[in-house]
Chains A and B, each alone.
Chain A
Amino acid sequence: MEISMENPIKENMVLDSVIDPTLKKIPKIEAKKIKVWYDGFNAIKGIDMTIKPNTVTAFIGPSGCGKSTFLRLFNRMNDYVDGFSMEGKIKINGSNIYKKNVNVEELRKEVGMVFQKPNPFPKSIFDNVAYGLRIQGITDKKFIQERVVSSLQQVGLWEEVKDDLKKSGLALSGGQQQRLCIARTLAVEPSIILMDEPTSALDPISTAKIEELIFQLKEKYTIIIVTHNMQQAGRISDYTAFFYLGELIEYNKTKNIFTNPEKQQTENYITGRFG
């Protein structure tokens, strides 16, 4: 399966993996022998990882272990970092995303990202969600309207903002802003969503809403989340990867990691004995 390069307006709204269940067995992401440097600093030291579609994978590890760097490789966010260089191959839907002819903008439609701090644009709620569609050149108002509504519905924000769509996105609460950012990501119909500590700036109620949302989104999307919250990783992810000093120490089903990890380093970290 190739990365979809078509304009989403021509595409069926339902993802391929939902239509064809056999695609669920094909790895969504395959990373092989990944090494990353920032100038002389070796941030990732040779990591292999395969991620199945429609799963939630949590990346955990102490600060500076390389988990965010690894996450950002999947939509080439590191390309802009000074001194960045890498070795190895990353395939998404079977295609190498670091080949020269890959259109990075198209890649980012396929692989959306949500950041630690909610970052709505200083625009209306409607325009925030419609932003991605508009920069793709979509002008069909009815289509944009439908997509904005469905995206806001998916993140459970529609009932809260349906009468205030012209209000600035910045006027929402922190939790609402983060859900707005997720809606903005969903609007361009990615199949993978990367989340870099999406709830670290939110209160417990907003966090619970985002976690519930992640659980629901799993049906349609493949989600990778970086988190420092061990309980969150345990609650929402199917698989957990523990990184330490640029290496992947252990990658297994979340249940195994949190009940009986194979590596002593993993156990020491998740039980709070180091890191």
Chain B
Amino acid sequence: MANAIYQREIINQSGSKMLTLCKSQLEKAKVAFREHDSDLAEEVINTENRVNALDLKIEEDCEKFLALYNPVAIDLRFIMAVRKINFDLERIADHAYSISKYVVDLDEPIEPHLFEKLQFEKMYTTISTMFDHITTAYEEKDVKTARKVFKKDKILDQINRESFSIIEEEIRKDSKVIRQSLILFSVVKKLERVGDLMKNIAEEVIFYIDAEVLKHKRKK
């Protein structure tokens, strides 16, 4: 059985690695987008292959663990949670990839005042904090920290709700920023979606540690 514990630890470490990698992808995508740095954007696009490879490795290791070790109780919940967390992280990395693609495709940088109006920095800081909470919760089996993620997600929802009228107003004021505004609006939507995925991950961490199913239960 010692081998099972060893295999589980390998999966656990891969999970941590995936968290770090996806956080880094999203942060680099943010800087690339904010600074209109196409080199950094290219780096994110190229690193997507590493994310996909790690995603496949975790999937394969989980499958092997289920088939060979027949996990039960906390081991079973761990494997089930890691598979879902891995899936959600891979989608977060996909969003980082899409944001970076905009940088490559966009000829001119986005007007700084648009970032301010849409509270772009606040969105990213919130997401970064959510990532930190999830990393602590996952690595230290800390349910209390995982729960903090839900509150943070509400900030993202609020910014997202307000974004439509802000963008509408900016376009009315200056038709030259239509393209920029629409791309920024799309990025805000993606970041809001990233928040939802982080929330799912927090739910999975809680399920793994406390066997509590939160999916579809919490008030919106």
- A residues sitting closer than 8 Å to B (CB atoms) are 230-231, 234, 258-261, 266-267, 270-273
Contact = CB atoms under 8 A, between A and B. Distances in A.
B204 to A, nearest CB: 15
Interface in B32-89: 70-77
Given A231-B70, A259-B73, A261-B73, 17 more contacts: A230-B72, A258-B72, A258-B73, A258-B76, A259-B76, A259-B211, A260-B73, A266-B73, A267-B73, A270-B73, A271-B71, A271-B72, A271-B74, A271-B75, A272-B4, A273-B1, A273-B5
Interface in B1-41: 1, 4-5
Secondary structure of the B side of the interface? helix
24 contacts: A230-B70, A230-B72, A231-B70, A234-B72, A258-B72, A258-B73, A258-B76, A259-B72, A259-B73, A259-B76, A259-B77, A260-B73, A260-B211, A266-B73, A267-B73, A270-B72, A270-B73, A271-B72, A271-B73, A271-B74, A272-B1, A272-B4, A273-B1, A273-B5
Interface magnitude class on chain B: 10 to 19
A228 to B, nearest CB: 13
A273 B4 CA distance: 10
What are the 4 A-B residue pairs with the smallest beta carbon separation, nearest first? A272-B1, A260-B211, A258-B72, A267-B73
Nearest to A268: B73
Contacts of B77: 259-260
Contacts of B76: 258-259
Contact of A267 (B4, B70, B74): B74
Instruction: Point out which of B4, B72, B74, B211 has the most chain A C-beta atoms below 10 A from its C-beta.
Output: B72
